[in-house]
Amino acid sequence: MSATGPAGRVQPARPGDPSHIGPYRIAGRLGAGGMGTVHAGVASDGMRVAVKVIHPEQAQEAEFRARFRREVELSSRVTGPHLVPLLAADPDAPTPWLATAYVPGPTLNQHVLAHGPLTEGNLYAFAAATAQALAAVHAAGVVHRDVKPQNVLLTPAGPRMLDFGIAHAADGTSVTRTGVMTGTPGWISPEQYRRGTAGPAGDLFAWGALVAYAATGRLPFGSGAPDVVAFRVMSGEADLDGVPAALRRTLEKALAQEPGDRPSAAEAAQECVTLLASQATQVVGADAVPATAVDMVTALWDVPAGEDPAWHLPPDRSPSRKRLIGAVVLAAGVIGGLAGGVAALLPGSTGGGTHTSSSTASVPPSSSTGSARPLASTAKDDKDGTAANRQASNGGSATAESWALTRTAQGAGEHDVARAVLHDEGVVAQELGDGVGLSPKSVRFQESRREVYLSYTLASDEEGAMYAETEIARNMCLTVRDVVLRLHPDLPYRTYVMVKEESGRDPQVTWQDDFVANSRCRSAADDDSAQDSGTDQDSGADQGWQPDEDGLGQAMIPSTDGAEIRVADGAARKIIAGTNGIRRTLGTDRVLGNAEIKVGFDPGNSVMYVWSDYLEWNQEQVESWADLAAGEACRALVRERESAGSAWPYSRYAVAEIGGSGYLMIRSGAATTRAACPA
């Protein structure tokens, strides 16, 4: 099992993502959730930041905007060495955002699942640091109200507490929906269950449970239905077996049933610092104990930092006024609710119906075998263009003449296609580097022929030209397929065409393919590579593929494809039924449903994702559930493949668990045969 999430990995930007937010350049994404997207940003001085942007639709809700404004106000009050500082914010922007310092490292939940509980000096450093963090929060007149393992990051320098999304002032002026209890079962205090009140003492109760989890790797009040967990909380049945005796005494006081019997966060912090100093004396000797508590935490902290790769900023794409028609602001994203920002539409040098040609760029028919094929331009002495015009009128292969009859985008759907293609191809062209010099120019449409065209220029050495064109072709296929089939299925298009424009030469059609039939967007180069290496492109271990947050984000976008909806619904029903059938094994009495277990598709990588946000299972129980989910997902894919044949594009599955601050990929594989599926 490998934990992945916010620990330094920057996912690529999506179509429509902004290049700048406030003063920060955007390098990619750190994550996304139900309330917003967290972008990886870089300040002018090179400092890395996390920029949280609220989903546009939620920004339209007056109550939600008020809560966000309150979050910014309260977070700005709180400072401390074990907190994540707020750097900047604009809660009144059309799409509100806030920026915090970027903090690399897994959450406590991810670390415990991957490496087990904290021990010795790490445990005492964790207890002291988190208690000091809460003391700083309370000193600012704020109550956190969501202290839990998903809201503590384990950084190379020590623990950091984060997420004040449902924090409120101690004066009771919070903005919350009437009748809704905020917090997570198992991390809610007895008085909040009984009376609905949540103050600093409630935070300390959750802190006691948090440190117990860090010390044992077990949920201190167990798992199960929320009412069962609530009963254990209110009856005082915390599981503290395995907590060191000295620390256990502090946690027992923190977990007292009555708020008045608990110490303050500052008092708990002082007790933990005393224990930490004792640990430091044993490790480094009395003469070498650091003078301050912060230094002691740093001296004893020895949690693996994990990988924190450099963030590579894309080239600054600030538009040149001489080359732009204008900038189009995407208020709602190209890809569902996950996109937003700015895309630039570059003008084509060739307008619809304005081409004149003395020679014809004729091409062979497009492949119908499911593999995209490059089209070699073969200029003939067809001076009057008769053959090409006949091809165009009869619906044959695309030519320079059919390109001459194209037009610019009309309507919301075509504009979405154009924006997405230009954005994605621009990103790919930048990744290919200056040595290739491929530049996308314009996207145009031939409605009667059901074709989408991309024109480009290529000023490069011929050695890299074919590779560049192949990469652009596959990416265009994926983008057009995704936008047309998933977002705008009413559009008539089914073929994408690439046209190379060169100074002093007629346009040349270099590539065309049916993006509906070629559902995997596999090029001839892909097929040849597979044949040369003797590998099966549909195998689960192909080409180093791994499930990731980007694919999971794609799977969260609601599908409009009938087959996808049908297969996902059937798989979800079987997985939910199977899950509820082994509730005893999973240690829960709660009946789960579509609210906790979901299924979706990532078309770009041919993956069906299954994910759950039910967090009350321990590691062994998560593994059992993942085995069940993986087996059902695999069999669902194989059944559909047997029924639909090559028209069904999905051949991989992945199972994930989603927490408050990240995700955990648990199972993945290839759906080749029923016998190969997990039992």
First to last CA, the chain: 18
Cα separation, 608 vs 298, in Å, equals 43
Amino acid at 89: A
Q: Partners of 40 in the beta sheet?
A: 28, 50
Cα separation, 107 vs 161, in Å, equals 10
Model confidence at 497, pLDDT cuts 50, 70, 90, reads very high
pLDDT tops 90 at residue 325: no
Residue recorded with tokens 């069906």: 608
Average pLDDT for the chain = 74
0.75 exceeded by pTM: no
How far CA 489 is from CA of 370, 497, 561, in Å, comes to: 20, 19, 8
Cα separation, 597 vs 614, in Å, equals 8
Residue recorded with tokens 């620990």: 7
Our CA angle for 462, 468, 474, nearest 5°, is 145
Lowest mean pLDDT among 13-17, 332-336, 431-435, 667-671: 332-336
Q: Of 413, 610, 647, 417, which is closest to residue 518 (Cα–Cα)?
A: 647
At 662 the pLDDT is 56
**Structure-block tokens of residue 16:** 């429509």
Model confidence at 339, pLDDT cuts 50, 70, 90, reads very low
Instruction: Give the highest mean pLDDT range of 142-146, 195-199, 303-307, 567-571.
Output: 567-571
**Structure-block tokens of residue 22:** 């406030």
Lowest mean pLDDT among 126-140, 387-401, 438-452: 387-401
At 356 the pLDDT is 29
Instruction: Report how far Cα 651 is from the mean position of its chain's Cα atoms.
Output: 21
By the 8 A CB rule, do 148 and 184 touch?
yes
pLDDT tops 80 at residue 274: yes
**Structure-block tokens of residue 100:** 């915090």
- Region 304-320: mean pLDDT is 61
Cα separation, 451 vs 258, in Å, equals 70
Amino acid at 642: E
pLDDT tops 70 at residue 623: yes
Q: Of 142, 146, 44, 36, which is closest to residue 97 (Cα–Cα)?
A: 36
Model confidence at 271, pLDDT cuts 50, 70, 90, reads very high
- Region 11-15: mean pLDDT is 78
Give the H or E element holding residue 345.
Answer: strand 341-345
At 388 the pLDDT is 36
